[in-house]
Amino acid sequence: MKKVGIIMGSDSDLPVVEKAINVLKDFGIPFEVHIYSAHRTPEQARAFAIGARENGFGVMICAAGMAAHLAGAIAANTTVPVIGIPIKSSLDGLDALLSTVQMPSGIPVATVAINGAANAAFLAAEIISLSDDLLAEKLDARRKADADAVLAKDAKVSEQYN
């Protein structure tokens, strides 16, 4: 199974990123976590991105706030899919969202909601599941369990109010 690379611009992003880590753990997806800054450690971030495919990564998740150039900097140096998590800091995270989502043609970054780390991990799992049938089955089972939970709540509310 391919690994997921998780890169955050600062250790202050870790409380948000841990939601992605937990989802990956739940699905048994291998991952590595690093702190690389697009601005303070650009050489290390670039080297990590350039070597991503040969080092067994199938998806990169990048979390950054404010200027949030990390996902774009990583995407510029690899053709491994990159998922950006804009981190809420200033301007309620809108600055990070726009910095992450507004990429030039040919350098895509899939972007989730502000602080949407869990969905970044689910998207990474879906990408990896394209070549892993067991993971695809786990994702299908999770979707079914989530739907069943909603329907159980619906039945309870319907019984009480209808």
Which CATH number goes with the domain that contains 78?
3.40.50.1970
User: Do 31 and 108 belong together in one domain?
Assistant: yes
Same domain for 140 and 125?
A: no
Q: Are residues 110 and 137 both part of a single domain?
A: no
Task: Please give the Cα distance from 138 to 149 (Å, whole number).
Answer: 16
State yes or no: pLDDT of 149 exceeds 90.
Answer: yes
Beta bridge partners of 83: 61, 110
- Based on the domain organization, do 94 and 61 belong to the same domain? yes
How many angstroms separate the CA atoms of 44 and 127, rounded?
25
Does 11 share its domain with 79? yes
Residue pLDDT, tens place only, 1-59: 999 999 999 999 999 999 999 999 999 999 999 999 999 999 999 999 999 999 999 99
- The whole-chain average pLDDT of the chain stands at 97
pTM above 0.85, yes or no: yes
Split at pLDDT 50, 70, 90, the class of 90 is confident
Parent domain of 49: 3-131
Q: What is the dihedral of CA 90, 91, 93, 94, to 10 degrees?
A: -140
Asked whether the beta carbons of 45 and 51 are under 8 A apart, the reply is no
pLDDT at 119 > cutoff 90: yes
